[in-house]
Amino acid sequence: MSIVDELLAQPGLYVGIDDNDRSETGALARLQIAVLPGRSGVSIDYEIFHVETPEHPRSHAEHTVIGRTQAGGALMIVADVHMGTLTILHEGEPGVFEAGDEPNAYPMKAVLSVPAPGRLRHSWWYGPPGQDLVEHDVAELSLVE
């Protein structure tokens, strides 16, 4: 089963902890999955909140679309509050999305998996140009509605 099929089978609101590198306690993560028309994929709204900074609790927000392509693969298109441009990633291994020919601000990949029904694992891998990617911002989430 593809990651698109797994996400289509379990839409809804997921909450959990993001091990965000900037926090010793982790951050609260909220991820909402909605089915796209024609069941061609899903949209994901993802936010990270830090309780230790109540004056600005939301440190990250992104809107992502993951869907099937005519060629049989999957794409991930991400808009977030930091980049100011869309990031387009192509699925290689199941649930692993990496840059194709499109330029990106820095080397990156996203990994999304469904380790068990009602559970998601979402992580970003990135690093400086020319260096190995390192896993950051790992969120372990559970379906709540």
* Averaged pLDDT in 10-residue chunks for the chain of 145 residues: 92 89 71 96 91 69 93 90 84 91 78 96 87 88 93
Note the pTM of the prediction, 2 decimals.
Answer: 0.87
pLDDT of 44: 97
Contact 31, 138 (CB under 8 A): no
pLDDT of 21: 53
pLDDT of 53: 67
Report the SS3 class of residue 61: strand
How would you class 42 by CB atoms within 10 Å of its CB: exposed for 0-12, middle for 13-18, buried for 19 or more? buried
pLDDT of 20: 63
Q: Look at the alpha carbons of 7, 67, 58, 18 in this order and tell me if their dihedral is positive or negative.
A: positive
24: number of Cβ within 10 Å? 6
Quote the number of domains for the chain.
Answer: 1
Closest CA to 31 of 127, 123, 133: 123
Q: How far apart are CA 141 and CA 118, in angstroms?
A: 8
128 Cβ contact list (under 8 Å, min separation 6): 106, 107
pLDDT of 24: 61
pLDDT of 82: 77
Domain CATH code at residue 99:
2.40.128.20
pLDDT of 95: 95
Contact 60, 42 (CB under 8 A): no
Contact 41, 64 (CB under 8 A): no
- Domain limits at 102? 3-143
pLDDT of 45: 95
pLDDT of 126: 87
pLDDT of 19: 80
